Amino acid sequence: MLTGLNLSILIFAFEGGGTIIDVNPGVIFWTIVTFVILMFILKKVAWKPILTALDQRESSIRESLEKAENAKEEAEKILLKNQEMLSKADEESKKLVNKSRKYADGLKEQMLKESKEQAQKIVNDATLEIERQREAAFEELKSQVAEIAVQAAEKILRKNLNMETQKKIADNFINEITKN
Amino acid sequence: MTNTIQDTVTVADTVHKSEGGSGWILHHVLDSHKIDFTPFGSINLPHLSLFGLDISITKHIFFSWIVALLLIVLLVIVAKSYKKSLIPKGITNLFEIIIIFVRDEIVKPTIGKGYEYFLPFHLTIFFFVLLSNLFGLIPYSTTVTSNIAVTAALAGISFVAIQFAGIRSNGFFGYFKGLIPSGMPALLLIIIIPLEILGLFTKPFALCIRLFANMIAGHVVILSLIGLIFIFKAFVYVVAPVAVGFALFIYLLEILVALIQAYIFTMLTALFIGMAVHQEH
């Protein structure tokens, strides 16, 4: 009954002819023929187009990724450049403001100095003028006083000068000269 | 005339074996000259011979052609779908996964540089073995790879491919010289040379036996389990559910085995080719 499960019978005994380890040369022949033809047909109609398509897709994905990466890098570069430019512009403007402020300050100071000088000069000029005017006035006064004095003296002399007094004065004069 | 004689012999055998022998299992597993569609009759296949060699079309050859045709049709559909767009759709997805698996997990790591040359060969082996294995699970069909002649032929092709790959990259003398480890004492060569030559043949021999045994074992187990129902006729209501349950389990296991064996066959072929290409000196 249980011979149905006996493996030794499976391999070694089968009245219908043949066992499972019978190697039929015809089958080997046909399998090789089938396989070789199948391989060449598939190589032509299937493997080549499929593998190229896969390669193409992979390379296109790789390219897209690389492109995206490049674009990102480019954008970052531009951003950096923009920032740099912005900061440069900021610096430039700061410099410009500083410069103009300095200039304005300088100008202010100079103007102040100049105006001060001008004022001083005016004052000086004025002082000089006043001095000159004063001196002139003094001179005039002096000459006028002298004239008046001479006139007054003339008037007095005309009134008091006589022979005696004239002689006294002349004597005194002569004495002084001899003493010297 | 011979056909009728043979038919009567087969029928007689079947009747004889159905009495409890093991012949009916072999009848299902073994190659034959007709395609059986019990109970709808059977188709006889033509007998051919070439230079005295019997090259009759057998059941296994017929089904290997069906497998080949199906592969061509399916893969042409896949190839065409790539022409439309590079984005996979439908069955292209399934095939793409397998193709990429074979390329990136089997061929690329084992062969390395220049693997593209061997890729079509490995893809064909993988798909042919896989579909042949899976075909055995279809009723009225047969497992092409459970015929030792088929696996022997596939292993023979692997053998040729391995030697070809080795000679192609190392030169004829370089390859056979590279088989012997360098720096061997002359005395040891007497032992080493026959060993290495034997090693060349044991590799494909193991491939052949492994695939054949794995594919036939599942079927024999399933048939034996089903056979239990007929052996224990008296307890049919007890035995039948258990036997069918176990048979179903083995059947599902067969799906896994079909995938694993296709993988192993391709993987080992790629490994041996890789070893032949990159010889250690």
- Per-residue pLDDT, B281: 52
Name the residue among B20, B23, B68 with its Cβ closest to that of A34: B68
Residues of B in contact with A39 (CB under 8 A): 120-121, 124
Cross-strand bridge partners of residue B53: B50
- Per-residue pLDDT, B22: 64
**A4 with B224: CB under 8 angstroms?**
yes
Tokens 């080992």 found at: B268
Which residue in B34, B257, B14, B131 sits closest to A34, CA to CA?
B131
Residue that wins the pLDDT comparison between B179 and A125: A125
Residues of A in contact with B160 (CB under 8 A): none
- Position A174 in a domain: no
Cβ–Cβ contact A28 with B under 8 A: yes
- Per-residue pLDDT, A21: 72
Structural domain range at position A132: 7-164
pLDDT at position B62 over 70: yes
Number of structural domains found in chain A: 1
Contact A28 B152 (CB under 8 A): yes
Name the residue among A6, A30, A43 with its Cβ closest to that of B22: A6
**B200 with B155: CB under 8 angstroms?**
no
The tens digit of pLDDT for each residue in B100-120 reads: 898 888 888 888 888 888 889
First to last CA, chain A: 193
The secondary structure of residue A135, as a DSSP letter, is: H
The secondary structure of residue B103, as a DSSP letter, is: I
The tens digit of pLDDT for each residue in B247-269 reads: 899 999 999 999 999 999 999 99
CA distances to A40, B70, B192, B212 from B153, in Å: 17, 20, 28, 11
The mean pLDDT value of chain B amounts to 82
Contact A47 B20 (CB under 8 A): no
- Per-residue pLDDT, A10: 47
Q: With a CB-CB cutoff of 8 Å, which residues 80-139 of chain B face chain A?
A: 82-83, 86, 95-96, 99-100, 103, 116, 119-121, 123-124, 127-128
- Position A1 in a domain: no
Cα atoms in the Cβ-side hemisphere of radius 13 Å centred on B163: 14
- Output the CA angle B167-B171-B173, nearest 5 degrees: 100
- Position A60 in a domain: yes
- Mean of pLDDT values over B170-193: 79
pLDDT at position B8 over 50: no
Cβ–Cβ contact A8 with B under 8 A: no
Residues of A in contact with B60 (CB under 8 A): 27
pLDDT at position B1 over 70: no
Contact B76 A47 (CB under 8 A): no
- Mean of pLDDT values over B179-198: 80
Task: Return the percentage of chain B with pLDDT > 90, whole number.
Answer: 16
- Position A180 in a domain: no
Q: At B82, is the pLDDT very low, low, confident or very high (cuts 50, 70, 90)?
A: confident
Cα atoms in the Cβ-side hemisphere of radius 13 Å centred on A170: 7
Burial annotation B65-103 (CB, 10 A radius, 16+ → b, else e): bbbbeebbebbbebbebbeeeeebeeebeebbeebeebb
Cβ–Cβ contact A124 with B under 8 A: no
pLDDT at position A125 over 80: yes
**A15 with B12: CB under 8 angstroms?**
no
Contact A25 B82 (CB under 8 A): no
The mean pLDDT value of chain A amounts to 83
Q: What is the ipTM metric for this complex? A: 0.82
Residue that wins the pLDDT comparison between B42 and B223: B223
The tens digit of pLDDT for each residue in A133-150 reads: 888 888 888 888 888 888
Per-position DSSP letters for B2-30, written without gaps between them: HHHHHHHHHHHHHHHHTTT-SHHHHHHHS
Estimate the share of chain B in helix, then strand, then coil, as percent rounded to the nearest 5: 75, 5, 20
Contact A16 B23 (CB under 8 A): yes
- Position A143 in a domain: yes
- Per-residue pLDDT, B16: 47
> How many CB atoms are closer than 10 A to CB B1?
5
Residue that wins the pLDDT comparison between A115 and B176: A115
- Position A155 in a domain: yes
Which residue in B31, B83, B20 sits closest to B54, CA to CA?
B31
Q: At B43, is the pLDDT very low, low, confident or very high (cuts 50, 70, 90)?
A: confident
Contact B120 A48 (CB under 8 A): yes
- Mean of pLDDT values over A123-139: 88
pLDDT at position A88 over 90: yes
- Per-residue pLDDT, A87: 94
- Per-residue pLDDT, A8: 45
Contact B148 A49 (CB under 8 A): no
Residues of B in contact with A35 (CB under 8 A): 124, 128, 153-154, 157
Cβ–Cβ contact A16 with B under 8 A: yes
The tens digit of pLDDT for each residue in A28-87 reads: 888 898 899 998 998 888 888 888 888 888 898 999 999 999 999 999 999 999 999 999
Residues of B in contact with A12 (CB under 8 A): none
How far is Cα B131 from Cα B71, in angstroms, rounded to an integer? 8
